[in-house]
Amino acid sequence: MKFFIDTADIAEIRELAATGLVDGVTTNPSLVAKTGRNFLDTIAEICDVIPGHVSAEVAATDFDTMLKEGEKLAKIAPNVAVKVPLTPAGLKACKALSDKGTPVNVTLCFSAAQAILAAKAGATYISPFVGRLDDIGENGMNLIADIIEIYASYPDIRTQVLVASVRGPQHVIAAAKMGADVATLPPSVLRQMFAHPLTDKGLAAFVADWAKTGQSIL
């Protein structure tokens, strides 16, 4: 299972990349707006730090402009994945970009029917938003299970299931149990995944007992 980081904050990305556990990055216009930085410069900088796919989202909603934006974003670095919304125009742009070999992440997926269309359009990634479904009283992880089951019936589908809008480690565990290809994690969720009070307590005891030995390994 691949882990992407869901942020446009370059300081966070550098810090978490150092763990060696980050396979890629997803951004969206809201995350970019939070940084207050220039979008194109930010994507270029992230692509230098992370060798895996870095999703950069188009801003337009019409096909022609989306395509032009996607082509421009794809030129920033070879590891850019152009992110398009799950709309008729977005999927048309997905098809056009994918046909030319540009990786595309189709975002804002909230149903299995939408995920089927994205696969037909040649998406590299489909991004179902589990947290936002949970927020409205639906079960986001049920959608992931449905998409994985459907895609598994068609070996020619190469689209990877990228679990998005992740709210905590429990979403990641559930996604891993289902065999999702990727989860994109807010930095806080990746940090939470390391944490367990018994790890901290156990380590404190080991450190204290080791000090009593008066020894040094090096």
State the residues that interact with ligand E4P by CB under 6 A: 6, 26, 28, 107, 127, 129, 131-132, 164-165, 184
Kindly report the number of other CB atoms within 10 A of residue 148's CB atom.
17
Contacts 24+ apart (CB under 8 A), 157-160: 157/119, 158/124, 159/115, 159/118, 159/119, 159/122, 159/123, 159/124, 159/125, 159/126, 160/124, 160/125, 160/126
Nearer to ligand E4P, 145 or 183 (CB): 183
**26-64 CB burial, b ≥16 within 10 A, e <16:** bbbeebbeebeeebeebbebbbeebebbbbbbbebeebe
3-state secondary structure of 36: coil
CB of 170 to ligand E4P, least distance (A): 15
CB of 168 to ligand E4P, least distance (A): 11
Question: Whole-angstrom Cα distance, residue 218 to residue 204?
Answer: 20
CB of 189 to ligand E4P, least distance (A): 10
- H or E, element range at 142: helix 140-152
CB of 105 to ligand E4P, least distance (A): 7
Nearer to ligand E4P, 131 or 169 (CB): 131
CB of 28 to ligand E4P, least distance (A): 4
> Which of 34, 68, 72, 83 is the catalytic position?
83
Nearer to ligand E4P, 33 or 173 (CB): 33
SS3 content of the chain, % helix, strand, coil (to 5): 50, 15, 30
Nearer to ligand E4P, 24 or 122 (CB): 24
Question: Whole-angstrom Cα distance, residue 22 to residue 20?
Answer: 6
83 is a catalytic site residue: yes
Nearer to ligand E4P, 26 or 159 (CB): 26
Which of the residues are catalytic? 83
